[in-house]
Amino acid sequence: MDTEEVQAIGNKSPWEALLHNHIVGFGRDSNGIEMQPPRLPLCRLMTMEVVRNIQEDDVEALQEKFYRTGYVASHCEFYLTVKNKEGEIRTVDDFVDQWDPLWKEINEEFERECDKVEEFKILKNKMFWVFDGNHRLTAWSEIAKRHPTKREYHPSVKFCLLAPAADAYKKVEQAMHELNG
Give the per-residue pLDDT at 157: 94
Q: Furthest-apart CA pair in the chain: how many Å?
A: 50
Question: What region, left, alpha or beta, does residue 7 occupy, with left being phi > 0 and alpha being psi -120 to 50 degrees?
Answer: alpha
Whole-angstrom distance, CA of residue 47 vs CA of residue 15:
22
Residues 23, 135, 125, 89, CA torsion sign: positive
Q: 153-165: per-residue pLDDT in tens?
A: 999 999 999 998 8
Which residues, 6 or more positions from 100, have their beta carbon under 8 angstroms from its beta carbon? 144, 145, 148, 149
Phi, psi (deg, nearest 5) at residue 125: 60, 20
Phi, psi (deg, nearest 5) at residue 96: -55, -35
Which residues, 6 or more positions from 166, have their beta carbon under 8 angstroms from its beta carbon? 87
Q: 31-48: per-residue pLDDT in tens?
A: 999 999 999 999 999 988
* Predicted model pTM: 0.83
Question: Do residues 128 and 46 lie in contact, with contact meaning Cβ atoms separated by under 8 Å?
Answer: yes
Residue bearing the bigger pLDDT, 147 or 174: 147
SS3 assignment, position 166: helix
Tell me, what amino acid is at 131? F
First to last CA, the chain: 27
Whole-angstrom distance, CA of residue 36 vs CA of residue 16:
19
Mean residue pLDDT of the chain comes to 84
Q: Is the model's pLDDT at 100 over the cut of 80?
A: yes
Q: At what angle do helices 134-146 and 56-69 cross, to 10 degrees?
A: 50
Q: Is the model's pLDDT at 4 over the cut of 50?
A: no
